A and B are shown apart, each in its own frame.
Chain A
Amino acid sequence: MEEDFRRLWAEHHRHVLAYALRRTGQRADAEDVVSSTFTVAWRRRGDKPAAEFELPWLYAIAARVLANQRRSLRRLVALRSRLRELPAPAADERSDLPEVVAALKQLRGDDQEILRLAAWEGLTGAELAVALGCSENAATIRLHRARRRLAEQLAKEDPAAGHSVTG
């Protein structure tokens, strides 16, 4: 089992690191997420899916780690929450974001996540389903709708660009 876990780490930890880094923007924070994710993965090794779905499974764990991190911080740090719009690295980066990422950030959180998983983590139907904990059919529909909303958002922000908003 340890060998299998070592392989899991060797094959996937940089992908999970990239996943976390895309969402936290900080290497140190991202490494914390990776550490926690693999700790949970080890603990839940009995639930580990077939090899082709290992990475989406790790993404699903990492998503929960990130979500709980955010929730906990919100709960614990009232003052920080009051200062949320003071400049921080993320805010600073926002001013230089590509248009499509700026538009992405205008969408609902679940739309953002499925689009990131598709575009940045490169997941497709069944992998998305594992990562999101839903059926493949539901993942496909959610992705379709999220893509439409992103296209609409882009069109709203830059009508001249003419992003298609139809299927």
Chain B
Amino acid sequence: MNDVIALLAEANPVRVDDLSSMASPALGHRRVVSRRLAVAAALLAALAAALVGVFALGGHGSRPAVSAPAGTAELSVGPPVSVEHPLAPWAKVVPLADAEAAFGPDLTLPETTLVGPSDLGPVWMHSNRDKSGATVALTFPKQGMFIQYRRPYPGSTFEVRAGYAAIAREDSYFHVFNLDGFPALAADQNSDQTGHNFGVVLVAVSGVEIRVFGHYDQATLESVARSIIDHSPATASKRGRVNLLPVLPPRQRIALRKASAALGAPVVLPDRSLLNRAKARKVWAQGKCPRERRNASCSIWVLFPSLTLIYGAPLAWPRTRAQYEAEAKQMNKAHHQAEVIDLNGVLAFAINENIGGQNNPGSIDFVVGGTRVVVAGERHMAALRAIARSIVDRSR
């Protein structure tokens, strides 16, 4: 039986010797944190943990304490986050130009009556080694403020909003709101149980998350975040043109006319009266297309403003009405609005997230002509249903 361990060892997909090192944590920068900054650090840790889904701090499987007593080890460990050191220990101070080069055009400085480019203090950055993203923090010492920019923000608008809503449900001092149409999350200053926490506003815009920290009221922090959004050509031009559902690598951009050939099956679009094909901004072939083997993966993603159509191989499960209904029941237990619907004789699974009452984002998932189709968008469910029904009708 040892042969199976040997076989498995041979199949080890990652060899330590092949890996480059990560930057060493700059723990030498740690200093004793004040009560106020300690709370801010913990708040940030809670946010970071919540946003990346890491709740296992402290070895007891609970969320990290946001408000432990001042001066305890609970707060003085981990990334020392403050205006003086606003990112994880392995971040480094860099020239603004380097941060801009790594981050791109979305690294826009705030410009309000409170804070502007001339107030900028040290700039910190932590970039992914594979250059897939970076986190930058701009500090404004005079204002006691720092702003983090994170790219890529992991998730679509759906996911961001859902994530923010989940945080707000779990921690009552957070609340979800819309900042000029973008999903946002805020905690008021001095609102947690210590009464000394920073105020914070987070807003996710086109794959970038902006987090504004400072001892100011929400309106002030919002105005800072808004000034960043307004002054960023990259984000301003994308207002209301979100990509739902991230397309994951490996992926290849293709022309819409080649979508069927790439999938190896017809990619049927809805009627032109429902969707202007000229507005298809991107078409991606994800996976290995066309599929060479039955279990190989290939899907076609057609991205419209606020709508994504996905075509791929059918799911193994669910297939029957009973299975769909069981799936819906399971999802509804988790407070989602899922239902089985009929699209002119084709069973479909509809999810209406409706988080925060925004535009009824949702998805409809069905199999027609041997192809699984997902219609997902920040549109009313009636509109999504019409699009899905049209695809069904045109597939026949």
A2, B30: Cβ atoms closer than 8 Å? yes
- A126 at the A/B interface (Cβ < 8 Å)? no
- B270 at the A/B interface (Cβ < 8 Å)? no
B53, A71: Cβ atoms closer than 8 Å? yes
Answer whether A98 and B11 are a contact pair too, CB < 8 Å, given A6-B27, A83-B374, A89-B248: yes
Answer whether A28 and B130 are a contact pair too, CB < 8 Å, given A40-B57, A82-B365, A83-B374: yes
Q: Which residues of B contact A156 (CB under 8 A)?
A: none
- A73 at the A/B interface (Cβ < 8 Å)? yes
Size class of the B contact interface (CB-based, 8 Å)? 35 or more
A31 to B297, CA, bound (A): 26
Q: Which residues of A contact B8 (CB under 8 A)?
A: 100-101, 104, 115-116, 119-120, 150
Q: Which residue of B lies closest to A35 (CB)?
A: B88
A87, B77: Cβ atoms closer than 8 Å? no
A76 to B158, CA, bound (A): 10
Q: Which residue of A lies closest to B299 (CB)?
A: A87
Q: Interface 1/0s, chain A 67-79, versus B by CB < 8 A?
A: 1111111011111
- B196 at the A/B interface (Cβ < 8 Å)? no
A147, B22: Cβ atoms closer than 8 Å? no
Question: Within B72-104, which residues are at the interface with A (CB < 8 Å)?
Answer: 73-74, 77-79, 88, 90
Instruction: Provide a sorted-by-A list of 8 A–B residue pairs whose CB atoms are within 8 angstroms.
Output: A21-B19, A68-B61, A69-B54, A72-B50, A79-B245, A94-B297, A95-B293, A154-B7
Q: Which residues of A contact B209 (CB under 8 A)?
A: none
Q: Which residues of B contact A6 (CB under 8 A)?
A: 24-25, 27
Q: Which residue of B lies closest to A73 (CB)?
A: B53
A31, B250: Cβ atoms closer than 8 Å? no
A86 to B21, CA, bound (A): 33
Give 3 nearest A-B pairs by CB, closest first: A72-B53, A87-B297, A87-B287
Question: Within B283-338, which residues are at the interface with A (CB < 8 Å)?
Answer: 286-288, 293, 295-299, 310, 312-313, 315-316, 331, 334, 336, 338
B12, A22: Cβ atoms closer than 8 Å? yes
Answer whether A148 and B159 are a contact pair too, CB < 8 Å, given A15-B16, A86-B312: no
Residues of chain A touching chain B, judged by Cβ–Cβ distance below 8 Å, are 2, 5-6, 9-10, 13-15, 17-18, 21-22, 27-28, 31-32, 34-36, 38-40, 42-45, 47, 61, 64-65, 67-73, 75-80, 82-83, 85-89, 91-92, 94-95, 97-98, 100-101, 104, 115-116, 118-120, 122, 147-148, 150-151, 154, 163-167
A106 to B77, CA, bound (A): 40
B297, A91: Cβ atoms closer than 8 Å? yes
A34, B13: Cβ atoms closer than 8 Å? no
A42 to B90, CA, bound (A): 14
Q: Which residues of A contact B287 (CB under 8 A)?
A: 87, 91-92
A77, B351: Cβ atoms closer than 8 Å? no
B15, A18: Cβ atoms closer than 8 Å? yes
A18, B79: Cβ atoms closer than 8 Å? no
Q: Which of A14, A87, A97, A148 contacts B16 (CB 8 A)?
A: A14
A158 to chain B, nearest CB (A): 11
A148, B58: Cβ atoms closer than 8 Å? no
Q: Which residues of B contact A40 (CB under 8 A)?
A: 56-59, 78
Answer whether A38 and B77 are a contact pair too, CB < 8 Å, given A80-B159, A87-B299, A100-B8: no
- B208 at the A/B interface (Cβ < 8 Å)? no
